[in-house]
Amino acid sequence: MNLIIDVGNTYVKLAVFKADRLKKKDVIKLENLIVYIDSLKKEYKSITKVIIASVGKLKNKDISYIAKHYKSLILLNSDTKLPFKNLYSTPKTLGIDRIALVSASVNQFPKKNVLIIDAGTCITYDFITDSNDYLGGAISPGIRMRYKSLSNLTANLPLLETEIPNSIIGNSTNDSIHSGVVNGILKEIDGVIKEYEEKYSDLTVILTGGDANFLSKQLKSSIFANSNFLLEGLNYILQFNSN
């Protein structure tokens, strides 16, 4: 069995896979990681392989502790063997989250032109061809970042919670903010998809990330929504390096 550890700045997402099947998923605070690992060892004694993807600050002593208790450990970075050809001009700057998402697409949609949209803190777009060539994509501000920037970078605009706008025409300041942020993102995503489809008619589109469910119900484009896509990608990278 495989243990997937995705480390952020404050929280850690963990998943246990048996081959390709997700058996358990949790989100915990970073400070509780080792205590959680100890409890997990008792629950799943057959875990032998671990992959760690860390964009946060995982201490070396924690990594050493994990390595001590499992036979195989991969620390995902730009030098890790990947199941696709990385044609990004600055491969060492490519985020490990984007690497994991592209890897998931290779596993689940082989020999397809795939656009992966990750709607989280930022919205990332990643494209891989049916020849298994990763070309790159785009990065833009996510929903909460847009709400916060309007409040933080202006004198009088309030910070609002995310809300589906009633209309494209906002007839109050709050409604105008909701319309600008949410409709702006929806138009952006639909526009990006349309531009890719004009070049690649057989395009497969994946939407994932924390805001995927909120956005998927409102998008015009045909997409696959999968909230576990990143974890599945990390699991595939681990399997790929174990063969």
* 92 is known to lie in a ligand binding site: no
Any idea how long the chain is? 243
Question: Which tokens sit at 146?
Answer: 């847009």
- d(CA 180, CA 117) in angstroms, rounded, equals 20
Residue 124 near residue 138 (C-beta atoms within 8 A): yes
Instruction: Judge whether 144 is annotated as a binding position.
Output: no
> What is the rounded distance in angstroms from the CA atom of residue 229 to the CA atom of residue 243?
21
Q: How far apart are CA 173 and CA 156, in angstroms?
A: 10
- 126 annotated active-site: no
Is 95 labelled as part of a ligand binding site? yes
Q: Is 6 known to sit in a ligand binding site?
A: yes
90 is in an annotated binding site: no
Q: What angle do CA 100, 17, 37 make, to 5 degrees?
A: 95
102 is in an annotated binding site: no
| 13 marked as part of a ligand binding site | yes
Residue 111 annotated in ligand binding: no
The residue from 38, 79, 97, 175 that is catalytic is 97
Beta strands 21-29 and 85-86: pairing type? unpaired
The CA-based dihedral angle spanning residues 184, 186, 190, 196, taken in that order and rounded to the nearest 10 degrees: 70
The verdict on whether residue 202 carries a ligand-binding annotation is no
10 is in an annotated binding site: yes
Binding residues for substrate: 88, 95-98, 173
Residue positions forming the annotated binding site for K(+): 118
As annotated, the active-site residues are: 97
Annotation: binding site: 6-13, 88, 95-98, 118, 121, 173
